[in-house]
Amino acid sequence: MSHPYRIDPASAKAAEAAAAIARDTLAKHAADVDANKRFPRESVDAIAKAGLFGLCVPAAQGGMGLGMRAFAAVTEELAGACGSTAMIYVMHVSAAQAIASGQSLAGRDELLRAVAGGRHLTTLAFSERGSRSAFWAPVSRMAAENGSYTVRAEKSWVTSAAHADSYVSSAQQPGAASPLESTIYLVRKGAAGVRVSGAFDGLGLRGNDSSPVTLADVAVPKGDLISALGEGANTMLQVVLPWFSIGTAAMSNGLCRAAVATTTAHLGGATFEHTGSKLRDLPNLRARLAEMFCRTEQARALLGHALDHIESGSAAAPLYVLQTRLASLQAASDVTDLAMKTCGGAAFSKHLGLERVFRDARAGWVMAPTVDHLLDFSGKALTGLPLFS
């Protein structure tokens, strides 16, 4: 079998490790995590223990030193078993990449070592109540005070809010003329003024601990700046956006694969007592499965192609980053919908696990850049319009 992300042997080994953890740990707890809206502690610990926190941390800082292809393959394996865990992982790796990009971040290398050692879980805190899903335009503000900074912000959805050891966060720089003049900085666990307000209760990804977080005049020492003042957009668009997009695309692909696998098993297993035939003998059901597979494999193949563009430094890479997230979000929504329609009553109840996958798959439409953003940005890029205007 050819892997659609064209991974090297080291990455394949990491993906196999992830698949084993998914099967042995994530799959066991996923239903309970979902039902009780609880953090997937066992699953996150297993990932940390296997060294996968540091999958893309440079070897010099104790990481595996692997790239985006490995990230995609690993995330896909995790997502197939527990969407919430995969979400936490994508946010962690994306935030860790932001940290790794922070030239002036004090203690960066020790932090990366803690990440690689599985001792530090990080996450992104970008979206805000006031800007809704326009994460690139924070309404929160930094104030300068005696060579240091303070931040007030109402972050609206922070994954791992109560469990992360740090947040990679955004705000307008002091005296910003526009929300686009943002700065990226690190907020450390236990910093004064950080308040997780309320637990998440939503349709899907119910274990991803996505909560509003208030930063009430939180002090940000100079050494905690990740981007230069006013240059947060660079970090957001050139570092976080590609990693987040590739990661969430892979996550959606993993949900699709789970839907395909569950449907395949159900069609081959369930029988009609009065005729002895199986569900797979119904042509419309197996045609729907073929459609599901086709959408899934197209989304996966496009992710592989986007990785080629990114690796080769192609001018079209940013467009393909948007497109692969777009394709995979739409595939996840459509494929899990088809799976529900194909498996009928068995899917509607809990025992196939399919309705959880169906619910988890909808989360992608909610997180920025949403499908509507992706269509709009891609459309602008294709017709030569500026992205933000």
Which 250-279 positions form the footprint of a second copy (CB under 8 A)? Answer: 260, 264, 267-268, 270, 272-274
The answer to whether 316 contacts a second copy (rule: CB under 8 A) is yes
Do the beta carbons of residue 230 and residue 173 sit within 8 Å?
A: yes
Distance between CA atoms of residues 11 and 6, nearest Å: 9
Measured at the alpha carbon of residue 319, what is the angle toward residues 339 and 92, in degrees to the nearest 5?
65
Closest distance to a second copy from the beta carbon of 268 (Å): 5
Selected range binding a second copy among 67-75, 181-189, 225-233, 311-319, rule: CB under 8 A: 311-319
In the complex with a second copy, which residue's Cβ is closer, 189 or 286?
A: 286
In the complex with a second copy, which residue's Cβ is closer, 73 or 186?
A: 73
Q: Which one-letter amino acid corresponds to residue 162?
A: A
Which of the residues 25 through 64 are near a second copy (CB under 8 A)?
none
Selected range binding a second copy among 64-72, 81-89, 118-126, 294-302, rule: CB under 8 A: 294-302
**Taking Cα atoms as reference points, which of 144, 126, 146 lies closest to residue 135?**
126
Q: In angstroms, how far is the first alpha carbon of the chain from the final one?
A: 45
The answer to whether 129 contacts a second copy (rule: CB under 8 A) is yes
The two most distant CA atoms of the chain are separated, in Å, by 81
Q: Are strands 182-188 and 194-196 parallel, antiparallel or unpaired?
A: unpaired
**Taking Cα atoms as reference points, which of 359, 337, 357 lies closest to residue 258?**
357
Which of the residues 80 through 99 are near a second copy (CB under 8 A)?
none
Which of the residues 319 through 348 are near a second copy (CB under 8 A)?
320, 323, 326-327, 330, 333, 337, 340-341, 344-345, 347-348
In the complex with a second copy, which residue's Cβ is closer, 214 or 298?
A: 298
In the complex with a second copy, which residue's Cβ is closer, 237 or 381?
A: 381
Closest distance to a second copy from the beta carbon of 308 (Å): 4
The answer to whether 133 contacts a second copy (rule: CB under 8 A) is yes
**Taking Cα atoms as reference points, which of 70, 69, 59 lies closest to residue 109?**
59
Q: What DSSP line would sit under 6-73, residue for residue?
A: ---HHHHHHHHHHHHHIIIIIHHHHHHHHHTT---HHHHHHHHHTTGGGTTS-GGGTS----HHHHHH
The answer to whether 156 contacts a second copy (rule: CB under 8 A) is yes
In the complex with a second copy, which residue's Cβ is closer, 111 or 310?
A: 310
In the complex with a second copy, which residue's Cβ is closer, 190 or 276?
A: 276
* Joined tokens for residue 116: 């690689």
Which of the residues 186 through 225 are near a second copy (CB under 8 A)?
200-204
